[in-house]
Amino acid sequence: MPIEILVPQLAESVSEATVGKWAKREGDSVNVGDVVAELETDKVNVEVSADAPGVLESIAAPEGAVVHPGEVLGVISDGVASTGSSGKSETAAPASLPASSGKAEAQPASGNGGPGAAGAEAEDVRASPLAERVAKDLNVDISRVPATGPGQRVTREDVEAYAARGEGGEPRGEVGKSSAPAVAPAPAPAAAGVADGRQEVRQRLTRRRLTIARRLVEAQQTAAMLTTFNEVDMSAVIALRTRWKDKFKEQYGVGLGFMSFFTKATIGALKAFPQVNSELRGEELVIKKYYDIGIAIGDAEGLVVPVVRNADKMSFAEIEQAIAGFVKKSQERALTIDDLRGGTFTITNGGVFGSLLSTPILNPPQVGILGMHKIQPRPVALNGEVVLRPMMYTALTYDHRVVDGREAVQFLVRVKELIEDPERLLFDA
């Protein structure tokens, strides 16, 4: 009995997803618990597993399709993967036709592009729905594409490899008909570009990347963003880390990083300037007396900002453990919606990638974000002498609608003071 693969219920605030990739293809055998597809949502990816053993009979939602909870992704049938048809010549076995239709035996073997084949190619070619869509986009005659997939199925990779070799063909159903080059579809020049060695690769944006793009544009269009800068002497924090890092790692199982110091310093500054820890709702400013600090983490799929909740009540070790846990979950693609929800203020560290200076963009509806940067030895004046010190530029981007320049500058100065004298963190944070 066929079993439908349904889109699972997503998180509370997520109503749709994009089919990121199919781990199985039509004709593949599946077991209970096998991951058959991966869905991309605004925040996290969701794996869809098979609830019954059998064969992936059909894919209803190809890669790139937008789906909603309860919709059908595909169908699993009980049986074995198809390997051919009714004992006729292998080249004459159109595996995409149902065995009971009788059509397979009624059709003569036609080959690819042979006389009289044009009308039969649309039915004789066994291809995945995604392969057909890619072939149409690339102006490739799918009947000419060699198949390497299960059951001699043409896959997306087959079509892309065929197009990359510069062997594109006429559109399906047009074999033998004359067409004027002047009205060739738009992809034709791209095929010519491939032929002379100048390749272009089309890559579908992930749901996360689309969401990042949308939110960043929204931030710039809805907030009056302004950035103020300062620089911090990291000597005291570096000395403190050097003195205690081995014992810290031994006792707590995580390294003592700079992020815990900046989290504590940020909380101290937020307590001194509470309007930076707020949210604008209509004509009201909601000032928050709790400190849920978002920590920006970059991975291959794009930026995510998991939230360290009630960070003001956490020790240095607890903050470092929380951040390390988020990094691990991000690498394992195991972050949940709850990990990312909310946040009252965000810290981002471009310095880990070598950034010397940048202007971070707000994470709405928050009104402030602190940017950390690369630590670099620079000459500074100290007690009437020029000395080299490990310096870091810091940046605060804020929403000027609710935070004035005076408070923003003083906020960043307070962060500087706490980092340069980290013992004060015991009292101010």
- Alpha carbon distance 399, 141 (integer Å): 54
Give me 183's structure tokens: 């009205």
343 within 8 A of 278, measured Cβ to Cβ: no
371 within 8 A of 302, measured Cβ to Cβ: no
Q: Nearest 5°: phi and psi at 46? A: -125, 125
- Alpha carbon distance 79, 243 (integer Å): 65
DSSP structure class, residue 103: H
Please pick, among 28, 34, 400, 428, the residue that the annotation labels catalytic: 400
Radius of gyration over every alpha carbon of the chain, rounded to an integer in angstroms: 29
Question: Peptide bond before 365: cis, by omega within 30 degrees of 0?
Answer: yes
Q: Can 196 be counted among the known catalytic residues?
A: no
Q: Can 28 be counted among the known catalytic residues?
A: no
Amino acid at 140: V
Please pick, among 246, 338, 404, 421, the residue that the annotation labels catalytic: 404
Residue 99: CA count within 13 A, CB half-sphere = 7
Amino acid at 230: N
- Alpha carbon distance 193, 200 (integer Å): 8
Amino acid at 393: Y
- Alpha carbon distance 161, 364 (integer Å): 42
Region at 57 (left for phi over 0; alpha for psi -120 to 50; beta for the rest): alpha
- Alpha carbon distance 403, 406 (integer Å): 8
| Listed residue (349, 400, 401) closest to 370, CA to CA | 349
Helix axes 156-164, 129-137, angle to 10 degrees: 20
**How do beta strands 345-349 and 293-295 pair?**
parallel
Kind plus residue range of the DSSP H or E element containing 325: helix 316-331
Counting beta carbons within 10 angstroms of the beta carbon of residue 28, is it exposed (0 to 12), middle (13 to 18) or buried (19 or more)? middle
Annotated catalytic residues are 400, 404
